[in-house]
Structures are given as C-alpha cells and as structure tokens.
Chains A and B, each alone.
Chain A
Amino acid sequence: MSGVIGTSVKRREDAALLIGKGKYCDDFTLPNMTHAVIVRSPYGHARINSVLTTEAAEHPGVIAVFTGRDVVNSDIGGVVPTGWLLPGIKTPEHPILATDTVRYAGDGVAVVVAEDRYIARDAAELVEVDYEPLDAVTDVLAAVADGAPQLFEEAPGNISFDWDLGDAEATAAAFDRAAHTVEVDLRNNRLIPHAVEPRGCLASFDDTSGELTLYVTTQNPHLHRLLMSLASLNLPEHKMRIIAPEVGGGFGSKIHHYPDEAIASFCSMQIGRPVKWIATRSETNLTDAHGRDHASHAEIALDAQGKILGLRVKTHAAMGAYLSTFAPAVPTYLYGTLLSGQYDIPAIHVQTLGVFTNTSPVDAYRGAGRPEATFVVERLIDMAADATGLSVVEIRRRNFVSKDDFPYQTAVALAYDSGNYDGAMDRALELSGYEALRAEQKRRREAGDTKLMGIGISSFIEACGLAPSQVVGALGAQAGLYESGKVRVHPTGSVTVYTGSSAHGQGHETTFAQVVADRLSIDVDQVEVVHGDTGEVPFGMGTYGSRSAAVGGSAISTALDKVIAKSRKIAAHMLEASEDDVVFEDNAFHVRGVPSKSQGWGDVVLAAYLAHNLPEGLEPGLEETSFYNPENFTYPFGTHICVVEIDSETGAVELQRYVAVDDVGNVINPMIVDGQVHGGLAQGIGQALWEHAVYSDDGQLLSGTLLDYAVPRAHNLPFFETDRTVTPCPHNPLGVKGVGEAGSIASPATVTNAVVDALSPYGVKHMDMPLTPEKIWRAIHRNGG
C-alpha cells in the first residue's frame, strides 16, 4: 500500500500483549530448569575475607553454589568489558563475581542455584560472607577530594578519564571580551531507569553440542553475544544464540552487558541444566546502570546585545563502581558535543572527568548525555536572559542557528545537517498561547496570588541515529554503529523482514512493516518483521540512541532498493524491455511510455523463484541484505513550553500544561511517534520533579524501592499537548531522525525553567532537580517568605 507511511496504523504487537500471551523472559520454562539467586554485597565498599557456602550447598533443593573464586578457576573470561575507550582511560577489571573487594552495594559475590526460586532465595541467606567494611564514597565531588577513599589503585583520585573538547584559549578570550557573564554550579540528579519488567535471563547450555541459548532482557542481542563471546564467557559466537523475547521496557538499562547474564550462563555450563535468573525490584534498582549524576560548573559569555560569545563547562560525571558498557561515551561524546544546543556559539570548551564512586555503575539512560547537556545550556540561557534583561524568547531567537545556515559546524565537533529552530519555537509559542500566559502571570503576580505561576521554555537539540561507524570508531567505540536489514520476499510475494533493531515497546513490527508495504505497494499484512534473535537476524547493533528508524529503517530501505533492482532486471527480461525503461510503481513493473506493457509484482517474484527464464547470470530467489552505515548523526530538535503552579504555602508544584513541539523529520507512524514523546516527557518530568537515586555516604541506596523512589504515576501528570514541524533528515533514505529520547531531553530543563520562573520574585536564579516541595518551600521562606 503506498501512502501507508505517515499514517497511524494500529500496532500488530498489541494482539498478543492485550490478552496476556506476550512472552517475556520470565514467561519461558525449559525442561529441567533451575533458578539462580545472586548473593550481593550489603556494603558499599568492603574487603571479602571469606565466603562460606557449605550450609547453603547442603540446603535441600540446592544444586550448586558458586563464588567469584569458582569463576576465576574456570575457563570462562569472567569479566564484563567496557565498549568505549577514551585516551588515557583507566579501565579496572570488572569481574562477574567479586573475589577480594566489593565496590558497591549490590556487587555480586556468590550465586545459588536451586530447584525453585523460593529455595534459592532461602539458601542465598545461608551463604556466609565475612566482609571487612572499608570507607566508601558515593558523591561525585567527594570522590575527587583529597583524602577520599580510593576504589582502584590504578585510578588515583578515583579518576577514570579526564577528557576535553573545544578550544580552551578561544573560549577564555571570549570570556575576556564579554559584556555579560553568568555562571552556575549545578547537579544533574542520579536516576534509576525503572523499566517495569526487571532484568532477567534464562541460560541453557547444551554440553554435547557446546551451544548456549540465552533468553535475556536486552535491547541488543547481537551486542550481548559479541561482548559475552569476547570477554565474559569466551564461547565462540557461532555457538551462542541470544534471544530478546518481549522486553518490558529498557530506556537504556537493557543495553548493557551486566555480570548477571554471564553468571547464569556460567551456572548452566557448570551444572548442565537451564538456569533462570530474574531480578527482584530492589535488586534491579541496586544493579541496573543508573543515569545522569553530574556535578558541573558552567559559564556563559555574551556581548552587550545578548549574543553568545562563549560557553565553558567543567563536569564531574559519576561512573559508579565500574565502567559499564557505554559509560565513558555518555558524559563525553554524547554530552560535550551537544553543548552548542540550538545556538550559534563561536567558542566552547568542555572538560569532563569520569569519576569512580561506590555506587551502581552509571551508563546510558533515555537521552544519555543529551538531557544533561540540554539542562546546562537551557539553564544558562535563562540565566543569561535574566542578566541581559532580554526575554527568554528573545535571547533564544537572537542566538539560534538560522535556518539558512545549515549545514552548521559547531564549536564542539558536530555538523548539524538541517534545522528550523525559529519554526519550532514559533509553533510552540502559538500552541501554548504564550503571550496570554505571560499576561496572566503578570496579572496574578500583581494581585499577590499565593499560587505562583511559572512558565518554562526549552529549545533543545539532540544528536541521534547513532551513528557513523568510522566517526564513532575514531572517538573510541569498540563497535560500529551501522544496522542490518534483510528482506526476504517469498515466492508468493509476501515478505519477511529481519532487522538488527531490537524493539522493547517501540512498535518496530508495525513501523517497519509500513516501510516495506509502502515501498512495494503491498498490504502491511503481507509483511512479517522478525527481530531480537541472533539465530534469525544476520547481525544488529540494537535499539537505543533513537536509532531504530533512522539506521534500522534505512537498512531495510536500502535492502528494498536491492530487492527492487533485482526484480526490475527480471521484469525487464519478461517484458523484453531495457532495464532502464522499466519502472516499479503501484506493485507492478511498467515500461516507461508503454502503458499496456507491465508485469505485476507477484508474477515477477514467482519468476525469480521458478527460475525457468531468468536473465543470463542472475541467481534465482529474491532476498537481499543491507548493512546501512549512516553518513552523519541525525539532529532532531524542538521547543517545549510548560506551565506550573506552585503553592507558596507548601512548596508543592503542579504541572498544569506541557506543550511539546518536536521536529523529528518525516514521521512513519504518527500515533507511535506521539507515544514515544509522551513516554519521554513523563521520564523527564519525573527527573525534574520527583526522581532521585540517593546514596548514604557509606554506600547504602536509600531510594532503593518504589516507596522511596518516585516514579511518576497517572495522577502526577497532565495530558500532553504535542505537535510537530517537519524538517526531513537530508542524508537517510527515509528522511527520519528519531524520537525515542526527545521528550526526556527537553523536559527536565523546561520544567526547571518554569519552577525557577515562578520563584524569580523570590530572587531564585537556579535550583537543582528534583524540585521537591521542601526545596521550594525553603527557597520561598528563606527570607521569611
């Protein structure tokens, strides 16, 4: 069906999920299956004197107990690797089970395998670990202070890397000649991803064939296979099949290779039976890679007219106790490169220190570096507006990269390919009724309303569609970031598509079927989409970084090009026409200028498989694969505006309206795209107002349950008002840019700007997230209210 791109086709994924037939990791049962429970450190930092397993091992129903020593004494690799290296980076070893030292509360020390999960849990209590507690450090700035407890000998001062980007001298010169400068110390609060499905896996090793089958909650099964083959297990890749079944949300937390899936696999290899491990909620909170956790000093320099001259940022980024899979990339190349925002800034310098702390590792979480950059830039812009006396709208307009200036080379490496920043802001202003809101605010302030109205705006950019492989390779990635797509046309003309993208709620089966149906002018029901299984899909880098449509979709599109090219050859042969004269349109091949001569798609496909009469030298069959390597990142952008009301008596914030205008390029399925925006907004608003992973100084996760960690609930949020402008991506075949993270990138700054705006009569210039009632109440009543 051509024309199916751009329509809200309802999701085919829903049919099974709505009736409870979707199969998530924990829903699989294999014959003779066992259950594993991992014994974890209750301390943030401790030496392990001994691990006694006898009592646990003797507990009825227990099959085996293994410790870090057992892993070391086996022939598996036993460590989880880091997939991104920076110059001079310290990458201390991360064993799948600790042997001598535990470095965060949750670090694994032993594993119990039993006949059922109740027994395994009982027996885990019987493992006796003699710990000698060590001083711990959990705060990112405290970790770099003199005399701070040290995590690794090879990383003095707890510094993993010291990275910078941009021109320090030019930036210093910009500050020297500035008419206005503004500086701020800010924190980007540590978050826990909280996919509703906890992480888990089911490993089954067949000791006759030497093959491992692993069902695992992953966003990227091939990446898992690669890392496990290379580092944690040392099994040959062709002997490993990794399956991502239905995955109940990820948001980045299911990208990474954690020790746990290697531990379960190890156990299965040892005992020769399938081993299931499913995290509890507290376990997943303790051990999922957390997000954000930056402390930054940020400065902006402007001339007398409010034109930005320079930006300077120094960030301490917590890495946690070990370097997780993509951790080093997040506060560097996914953060520093975004500090130009939507603005024309001649000089920028950013320095990031990656810091070890006695906490769960930190890695990509929805937005990954880009929300942190947007928060810095959009806070500084608002503060600069205040300093220069310009309105928050005018200062943005004055500094936007103008729509005629693309491609635009930023001072921090990226080349923005396209954009229309005024266009998106104008639409957001219009949709929100901005002028009227400001008038209402003025009126209410003058009337002394005790409900403080605040209006926040944030204009954001993201770089997604990760990523040109040669570029990321040069920057330290230990993998390429292309994507594969295989299109198999069956003899009767229906199609199965294999994609390396690995959906976990994004609706790829529907969206990619639309891409195929549109190109081949067939019904969407004629297209099956297969993903998430290394046994079926050639290769894949997976789903994160808002890359699936832009990279995975483009791979399918270029594979379709090849399919059409081959079938055109066959059609030309059948039509006795020159290939150049044959065009494919409306599900048939036509000879240009001879309307009576055409061959239907079905006949051509069948001919390819009958192979009775093919052009000379052409192989039978119709199946093509493409590995699509993007030319550039994509650059979605937008402006978001929100309205808050603060009760000055209690400090409570009510988010009353949230308007999001996003430009994500061409849209394949508007319903799904809106849904992605909604979800991202909820997470970003959660970060701004409620969410905070808090550790005590000695390393206890104080917000380890859903009682203490406030994930947004239905009554906390309003309906969202979303709209789009469309500036197609100029360098991929679908013109798409990616939408998965937009909401979570823009909204923390939007909401914070609104709260600060509401509190501006009290002299508040900045406030760190989460913007809790207590913090706000104190700000209001600091001077006696």
Chain B
Amino acid sequence: MGQQVRIEVNGTTHEREVDPRTLLVHFLREDLALTGTNVGCETSLCGACTVLIDGEAVKSCTQLAVQADGTSVTTIEGLAQDGELHPLQTAFHEEHGLQCGFCTPGMILTAVDLLNDNPTPSADEIRQGLKGNICRCTGYHNIIKAVQRAAEGGAS
C-alpha cells in the first residue's frame, strides 16, 4: 500500500516508499529525522511547520508527502549554506527575534519567501506577510525588526 516518492530535501534526493496518508511534516521529521520543522497546530493555522517547496513557503502539516513527489523541499536545516547562516538567521539572532524558538524555523522560511517576492518590504508588508505564522513569545516586535534588518542587508 506504500507509494513511491522522489523528493529532494535540502539538496539530497530521497526515494522512499510512503503510506499515502503520511503528512509531509511527518515524512520530514520521522522518515528523514529532520526535526527542525515543528508542528504547532496540524491545521495550517500556526505556521510552525512551514517549509519551502520549490521556493514557495508551504505549511507541511497539511500537505501529504505524496503531493511533494518530484519537488525540491528546503527545511530550516538546509538554509545555511556551507556553514554560513542565511542573513535571516543572522538577523533573528542579532535582533533577538526568537525566544523559545518553536515558531522560528517556520517564521524564517516564510520570511525567505516574503523577501524573494518583495526584497524591500515596509514594516506593514512584513506584518502582512507573516500573519500566517504565530509567535506567542516575542510579540512580533523583534521578528519584524529582524526581517527589516535582513532586507536592508540584501537578504533576498
């Protein structure tokens, strides 16, 4: 009853047989042991599970692994390049954009997509762009500043 999928994750291609009902987030977390992608609500409402699929931010808790067949997925583990943090990761650190860190992977990947679409967003545009991601710790203040900082540094 398994179904064969071929998914590139963080640059490595994985060919696996998965149960057709396996959620992408569980495929990443359990089959590939990439536990950086978190589950906060399993209903597309918190954004903690956000990953990039072919460059677009997608909530992996409501996607089936089989739907991601043939795509290229980036998780938080794959964002730093050759040990160099992505400018958004650095900016979150500099601006104290994370506390418990649970929302952070999803927040950063959503921001990657946001800055790709709009490299010079206003604070309001950043707030609109991140409204699908809940952070209960930071009040968003420093998250917005972090995205602004990354944008100013030409992060996109």
| Residues of chain A at the chain B interface (Cβ within 8 Å) | 8, 10-11, 13-15, 17-24, 26-27, 29, 117-118, 194-198, 246-249, 251, 278, 280-281, 504-507, 671-672, 674-675, 678-683, 705-707, 711-715, 717, 719-720, 743
Contacts and interface: CB of A to CB of B under 8 A. Distances in A.
Interface of B is mostly: loop
A675 B142 contact: yes
B139 A679 contact: yes
Nearest to A22: B101
B139 A18 contact: no
Nearest to B76: A20
Interface residues of B, number: 59
B37 A679 contact: no
A721 to B, nearest CB: 10
A679 B143 contact: no
A20 B105 contact: yes
The 4 A-B residue pairs with the shortest CB-CB distance in the complex, in nearest-first order: A20-B36, A248-B102, A505-B100, A17-B101
Contacts of B124: 715
A281 B94 contact: no
Contact of A196 (B126, B127, B134): B134
B16 interface: no
B96 A672 contact: yes
Interface stretch (B1-9, B41-49, B64-72): B41-49
B141 interface: yes
Given A11-B93, A27-B35, A706-B41, A18 B98 contact: yes
Given A19-B85, A672-B96, A706 B101 contact: no
Contacts, number: 184
A691 B126 CA distance: 23
Given A20-B75, A281-B40, A505-B101, A196 B136 contact: yes
Contacts of A18: 76, 85, 89, 92-93, 98, 101, 104, 108
Contacts of A247: 100
Contact of A719 (B92, B99, B141): B141
B46 A706 contact: yes
Contact of B43 (A251, A281, A711): A281
B39 A26 contact: yes
A507 B79 CA distance: 24
B93 A681 contact: no
A248 B38 contact: yes
Contact of B42 (A248, A281, A717): A281
B138 interface: yes
Interface string B22-35: 10001001000111
Contacts of B46: 196, 281, 706
20 contacts: A11-B96, A17-B98, A17-B104, A18-B93, A20-B77, A118-B19, A194-B134, A195-B102, A196-B103, A248-B100, A249-B137, A506-B99, A682-B136, A682-B139, A683-B136, A713-B140, A714-B130, A714-B140, A717-B141, A720-B139
B96 A671 contact: yes
A675 B141 CA distance: 8
B137 A14 contact: no
A209 B115 CA distance: 54
A723 to B, nearest CB: 14
Q: Which of A14, A246, A711 has the most CB of B within 10 A?
A: A14
Contacts of B99: 249, 505-507, 675, 679
Contacts of A706: 41, 43, 45-46, 134
